[in-house]
Structure 1
Amino acid sequence: MPDLTGKVVLVTGAGSGTGRVHCERFADAGADVLALDRPEAVDDLHETAGRVRRRGGRCATGTADISSLAEVTSAVESGVTTLGRLDVIVANAGIHTPNRPAWTISTQEWQRNLDVNLTGVWHTVKAGVPHIGTEGGSVVIISSTNGLRGTTGTAPYTASKHAAVGLALTLGNELGPQSIRVNTVHPGAVATPMVRNPTTYKRLRPDLDNPTEADAIEVLTSRNLLPVPWVEPVDVANAAVFLASDQARYITGAQLVVDAGLTQKAT
C-alpha cells in the first residue's frame, strides 16, 4: 500500500458507504483524516472516526451541507486547525435521484443533483485548496461511469458527473503550477445501498413484480466484462489512495475507471 504517513486527507460524504471506506483506507496508508458529512450524519461520522482511530490515525469530523460554501469552509477550517495541515482532497459526496426520463424530472430534483454533485465539489475544492502547502498535494474527485457516457433515466446525475470531469480538467491546469494534481475516479455499480435496494432491483428487472437482489445481479453481471455484478467500496478507495500518493506523482488530468469492464464491453 502507498505510504501517506504524515499527510492529512479531507473526505466528504465520510459518514457511510464508500466515503467511510475512503477514510479507513487512507488511515491504513498512514494518513490522518478530516471527515465531513451532513449534519444529520453526525452519529455516522463518530463511527467513521472510531474506525480511523483504531487504525492508528487521527480523525477530525465536521458537518456541512455541501451545497453551502459557508458551511463547508467553516468545517474545513476547523478540521485543518485541529489536524494542522491539508494535503489531499477527496470530493466523494454525491446523490442519485430516482430514475425517470429527463423531461419528467422536477426543477428541484435537477437543481439538487447539481448543487451536490457539481457545486458541492467546487465548494470542497474552494474551501480546501488554500490550506494545501507549498509542497503540493492531490485532489481526487469521485465521478462515475456516468461521467463518461450517458444512460437513460439519469439526466441530472449524468450531467453533474460529466460537469465534474470538466471542472477537474480545468482545475488540473490551474493548480498544476502549485504542484497540486487533480484526477477523477469513475466507479461503475458499487456494492452500497445506492445500488443494493428494492428500487434499483425493480429498475433493473421491470419484468418482475418483486425482483430480488439475485435477479438484479444477473443483469448487472451481464453488463460487465469481468464476471461480477459490481465493485466493492474498497476498490474505489484503493484508486483514490493511489492517486493521492507519490506512486501517482506525475499523474494529473486522468480519469481512472473502476468498473469491472462496464464501459468497455462491446455488447
Structure 2
Amino acid sequence: MLAGKIAIVTGGTGALGGAVVQALLNAGATVWVPYVGTDDLDRLRKRITLPTDAILDGAPLDLTDEAAVYQAYGQVAGTYGGIDILVNIAGGFAGGEPVHRTPWSLWQQQLDINLKTAVISCAAAVPHMLTRGGAIVNVSSRTATQNARNVAAYGAAKRAVLQLTEALAAELRDSNITANAILPSVIDTPANRAADPNADHSRWVAPEAIARVILFLVGPDARIISGAAIPVYGRA
C-alpha cells in the first residue's frame, strides 16, 4: 500500500504515535521519527513489531527550532529520496482554569507545542513533496470545535491547527498534496487511564483505531479527500 513512501511522524514515540508508526511500517513505508529523550527511539523499537526489512529511523530534534527542523527534514529527503507523508502528532495538553486565571505563559506554551511544531514541520516538509505529491495529517482535537471551558489555550491552539490544515489544502490542491486533520478526544492510553482511573475506559478510542484512520488518509484511496476535519472520538 505504501511501499516506497517516506513518512515523518512527529510525536511518533508516544502512545498514538507508536500506533501510527506501526501502521505505516506494516503498510510498507519507511518511517522517520524526531524525538527528545536519548533512548526514545530505542524504546519505540522495543514496543512495536518491526516487519521484516522495515526501516525505522529518527534523530533528536526540537520541533520548535525552525532552522533545525528544516535541516533535519532536508537530510531525510536527501537520504531517502524525498518525503511523501507527514503526520503531526506532537503536542500536549495543559489547562484547567478559566481564561482570566490562565497566564499568557500557558497560552504561549500551548501555541508552541501544538501549533508552532505543526507549522514548522509542514513548512519544512512541503518543499520536498511539491514535485512528487504527498499527504499531511495534522492532529487537532475535539476541543477545537466544541466547548473549551477551562481549556481555552489548548482549544485555541488546536483550532488554529484546523485553520492551518484548511490553508494547506487550498494552497496545495494543484500539487497533488492532501492535508487533513483528525479530532480525537480522550485516547485510551495507559497515561490517560492512570490520570482518570474511575472513567468508563470502554468509551475511549484505542490508538490503533485512530492509526487506521490516519493510514487511510495518507493512502491511495484518500487522494480525493483534502481539507477535512474528521472526528475520531467514538463514544468518548
Q: TM above 0.5, one fold?
A: yes
The corresponding residue for 1:112 is 109
Q: How does 1:45-124 map to 2 (within 5 A)?
A: 45-49=41-45, 54-56=50-52, 57-124=54-121
C-alpha contact (below 8 Å) 1:93/1:116 kept by paired residues: yes
1-side partners of 2:83 and 2:138: how far apart?
16
Once the two structures are superposed, residues 176-212 of structure 1 have per-residue CA deviations (whole angstroms, 9 ceiling, x without a partner) of: 11110000011121012552333xx3xxxxxxxxxxx
Structure 1 segments of 4 or more deviating over 6 A?
none
Once the two structures are superposed, residues 2-56 of structure 1 have per-residue CA deviations (whole angstroms, 9 ceiling, x without a partner) of: x111101110011221111111110011111011122xx2312223246678223
Shift of 1:109: 1.2
Shift of 1:71: 2.1
The corresponding residue for 2:8 is 10
Shift of 1:73: 1.6
Between the two proteins, what is the percent identity of the paired residues? 30
C-alpha contact (below 8 Å) 2:22/2:50 kept by paired residues: no
Shift of 1:58: 0.7
Once the two structures are superposed, residues 207-262 of structure 1 have per-residue CA deviations (whole angstroms, 9 ceiling, x without a partner) of: xxxxxx1x222xxx7xxxxxx32001111111111000011010111111111145
1:143 matched to 2:140? The reply is: yes
Gapped regions of structure 2 (runs ≥ 5): none
Which amino acid counterpart does residue 237 of structure 1 have in structure 2?
Answer: A
Match of residue 19, structure 1, among 17, 20, 41: 17
Match of residue 160, structure 2, among 152, 157, 163: 163
CA change 1:72–1:194 in 2 (3 A) is farther
Number of positions where the alignment pairs a residue of Structure 1 with one of Structure 2: 235
> Secondary structure at 1:138's aligned position in 2?
strand
Relative to the length of structure 1, the TM-score reads 0.82
Rg bigger for which structure? 1
The corresponding residue for 1:42 is 38
CA change 1:252–1:121 in 2 (3 A) is same
1-side partners of 2:72 and 2:190: how far apart?
26
| Pairwise CA RMSD | 1.8
C-alpha contact (below 8 Å) 1:87/1:136 kept by paired residues: yes
Shift of 1:75: 2.1
1:195 matched to 2:192? The reply is: yes
2-side partners of 1:192 and 1:70: how far apart?
33
1-side partners of 2:222 and 2:129: how far apart?
18
2-side partners of 1:247 and 1:261: how far apart?
26
Gapped regions of structure 1 (runs ≥ 5): 202-212, 222-227, 263-267
The corresponding residue for 1:216 is 199
